[in-house]
Amino acid sequence: MFLAAANRDPRRWDQPDSYDITRRTSGHVGFGSGIHMCVGQLVARLEGEVMLTALARRIAKIEITGEPKRRFNNTLRGLDSLPVTITPA
């Protein structure tokens, strides 16, 4: 599997390059699957939920204030930096 293409298969998802918070996660391979699934995925999901819930209570908005800088890699997609401005709630 080419990890940079994970969850971006146009045969599986409409508009695979667009972020859609309502997209069903069935078939998502971010944590692997089967015998290759990440054993820590439940902890990682819980950490993400706890952190995002805490942020949502304390922040009115987050705005991108500069050009994102991509981190180039043959196997993964990611950012080196993403300048943002945070407005407290």
What span, in angstroms and rounded, lies between the C-alpha atoms of 46 and 2?
26
pLDDT in tens, 20-60: 888 887 777 778 778 888 899 899 999 999 999 999 999 99
- Give Cα 86 distance to the centre of its chain: 19
> Which of 40, 41, 61, 43 is CA-nearest to residue 51?
43
Q: Which two tokens stand for residue 71?
A: 């981190």
Residue 47 DSSP one-character state: H
pTM, to two decimals: 0.62
Give pLDDT, residue 82: 96
CA dihedral 30, 27, 72, 22 (to 10 degrees): -90
Cα distances (angstroms) measured from residue 54 to each of 49, 70, 82: 9, 27, 21
